[in-house]
Structure 1
Amino acid sequence: MFNNLEVCQAVLNALPDATFLKDGQQRVVFLNRQACELFGKTVEEMLGQTGLADLDDHSVEKITEGDRYVLETGESIEYEHQALNRDNVLISIMVRCSRLVFHEAPYVLVSLNDITSLRESEAQTRYLAYHDILTGLHNRTALYEQLNQVVVPGVGRHAGETGGLLLLMDLDGFKNINDTYGHQAGDFVLCEFARRLQGVAPKNSLVARMGGDEFSLLTDRPVAREEAESLCRQIVNLTQTPFTLTGASPFVTVSVGVTVITEAVITAGELLRKADAALYEAKRQGKNVHCFYSESLDASLSSKRRMEKALANALSSGRDITCAYQPLIRAADNQIIGVEALARWQDKELGEISPVQFVPLAEETGLIIPLGKLILRQACREMLRWGDLSLSVNVSPIQLRDGGFARMVLALLAEERFPPERLELELTETAIMNSDANSKHQLVLLREAGVRISLDDFGTGYSSLSLLKDIVVDSVKIDRSFVQFVTQLKDTAAIVTAVSHLGVKLNLQVIAEGVETREQQQFLVDAGCTQLQGFLFSKPLSEEKLEQLFADIERNKDLSSGPHLEIKD
């Protein structure tokens, strides 16, 4: 028969965390095998000691103070601490302390969990969220975030002062390199151009790859016209030297569009449109040309105003704007469990207009408020009869900042008799992190009513893993930029797996968007993603085509199962 000490020791040794017991004088009286391994000492060396002998003064003070607090108050505490392990490597440890009383004597039960891998994953996530994987430059997300800082009134510039330059660059003839020499050669050219561009970029400027063969440069200080002209000439000269490949030395040219950031600029989108208008003009003029934005160049300005008027009329009449629905698939069995509602606009005169065009325009003009309400109402009406399906709707940060947003949503759901439990609102993590106290209160009101909240484009904003600890959400949607490379890049695969595992532990639904291949699907299922979405399963469908899809599935499915999608190679 085992005695109590043997049983206690066996239990402690079975625990995954390093665990030990301290008496009222903070001396170790009991510990498990994991604690010995963590400290690199034997049981005999640890017993009777405080376990603080090899630590620095700051660590000793912090741990002693924590133990004393637990002994005196009886309250449990949890904190993170960094320390050197037995191999002299700095590791991160989560420390949990609670008080136990034996024979009226107080003791401190301490457990230590090595979270170094988690912190390293967070660091990798932060890097991947803001950097282009191929070139190592910043990415579009990083540029957008910096642009949003630049256009904030009073930040980085004074009244009447320029706030720097935004340059957009496009490599002319790059497609020919891919077609002639292959994508590996194309990747080399992109990386080499990125290296050259960094070499001429002004100090502290942000250099980014926007995607494909498009690059950008944002300066953080006012730049004189002569200096800006000189910078553009240097960039154009970068392509005068051939890009040496094995057995070939192909040339490309570069077009540069420039816009000067002034006090009048109020949105990041406006900056990008102006730089893009200048880039378009540079490409129109020929090869290796740079062009500065001017009002006369902005041929899109009148088009924008025309589009704004047409959008306002469409919202006022309630016509021409419709919903498309992209199915959401349960990873375990390919069953359709929900849909995401996506705005579509078909104007009688302008034709079909992409959401990439009209959604930013709606945000800039304030029309996003009525547009969001129209899409939500239409989606609730059309999906009401599909009682087993959840409905996801995207929410703009501007909508969230509206003080009456939660009240509007709940009133609309009541009017349409749509159950709040079936609705999930998707917001980007950047939008939530930038929201004020009132915006966060809106989310609390919605969740209390049963509406679910999802973090969209997860991994492209702030410190994503840390974010999950601070904000109560129901699901996370791993961005398609991670899914795209999940079967090709080890770092990306590791991040997706880490996020999936963490999501499961936090009882979150983990959704992967942009799934296009069977290989991606299998990896995501194995990684622990609970829901999938992408062209592998279905493109966004009109209400009629969605109904036809369900009808086709209904005819072919087993009567005991739900609507399953048959994936075709």
Structure 2
Amino acid sequence: MEDARASSKAFAIVFLDMRMPPGIDGLETARRIRAIDPDVNIVIVTGYSDHKPSEIAAAIGRPERLFYLLKPFDGAELQQLATALASRWTLDTGIADELAKRVAQLERMYAELKASEARAQELARLDALTGLSNRSGLSERFQAEVQAATAQGRQLSVLYLDLDRFKDVNDSLGHAIGDGVIRGFAERVSQAIGKDGFAARLGGDEFAVVCFDRPRVAELSERLLQACALPYVLDGDTVRMSVSIGIAHCDLGQPDLVEAMRQADIALYAAKSAGRGVAMEFAPSMERDILGTQRLARDLARAIATDELTLHYQPLVCAKGSPIYGLEALLRWQHPERGMIPPLVFIEVAEKTDLIRDLGDWVIRRAFADSRLWPDLVTAINLSPAQLRAPGFVERVATLAREMNIDPGMFELEVTEMVLIEDVAQAAEKLRQLKDIGFTIALDDFGSGYASLAYLSQIPFDRLKIDRSFVEDLRSKSGADGVIRSIVGLGASMGLSVTAEGVEDVQQHRFLQEVGCTHMQGFLFHRPLTVEAVLTLRGSRPEIRLSA
């Protein structure tokens, strides 16, 4: 029985005579056989037994596989019983084997399901694009780290990272390149962190880093800034990015991720306001500043949408002081509650909150419309660096000019030297495209510190506008006249017209005439005027008379 069982050739039936030769009796033999093979059919062959059937069944077990054959019996009876039991055993064994296979299959499926469930739970904590933790994973890992940090007396810090002007990459190069930048940035962040913490992607171009120990934050943030400053090369495109970082430190007693992220977000806003590409730690004063800025930004967005803004126009005159050859559009905002908001204040807010493009587009549209009232005058419009840098800007201006049926040749687009800081080649290309459309291009506030002869040779300017500070210095600083003579000479040598801004007295005017300035503007001639005042001035056409 044991050998047959071990070789997978188990018996179907055992015929057992209860009256055995001297030694172990039939009952003990049956008990041992049942222990070896619980499924075998045992047939008790007896004419007389010392044990009752109930005793035999209790001793052997499995009464449903226990049968009796009384002596005397004939061969046909034995054959019939053997055939029936063998068939039943075969059927039961097959069912049992199939059931065992099904049970094994179910066990494998259960194990696979558990593994899949564990993987799904793991993936639910990860960002699909970068493989970093997502918001859910960040929260779980932070809570786990809190326990260790508390036990070891470490103070955790949270860094909020945001790629500067990432939307421009998506808009100009496409989302595939944008995704490549995000993946590359995630890799650099992970490498820069090392063993000092862990990173998570919050969504879009926003990331969070948890630093395990506050004293390591300054060095970590510097590594992150340097890592992001390197260019990304993707499918032949070179993308230059910077990252702004806001930093907040968790309370030692009860580290709170939500509060730390809120403070880090405020610090991030301050970092972007400071010029981007820097890291700043949270300070309570930032919260007061950001609330005021956000309220003003909300009001400004409403003002743009509801045409609450207006344009005033300062006349541009020829060197003699007359006649008027053009008008420079100057933005004004009369706030319904706070009164007149200085342009420097709300333009700075627009730049901080990414409203500058909407604001700039509003100015262009309104200036195009107002210019129909003076078709014989040039209208000058100031462009911000953010406007010029925005994807599709040139196309939008060209489309608007066609739709409003204006002559680009009667418009002068002014840019400051700030456009030259980040990407001279890109600025030059866009200005060249605007010039090809027919617009005149002027470099405003020339001499404030960024431009050079190399830049001037790359960009197709038509006019230089001398920064008003140099004109103001004529009253008080020696050498100011030499600076202006140099600028005018430079303009003349390059075939550029030169306009002096901020002319306020006769002496300034005479000097600027003498050195060769071709055009001027300032309070000496005209202050900024409303549209109605411009029309009144145009109707009277007064000559400018200067006292001796």
Which one has the bigger helix percentage?
2
Calculate the TM-score normalised by the size of structure 2: 0.49
Q: Which has the higher contact order (CA 8 A, sep 6+)?
A: 1
Calculate the TM-score normalised by the size of structure 1: 0.48
Rg larger in structure: 2
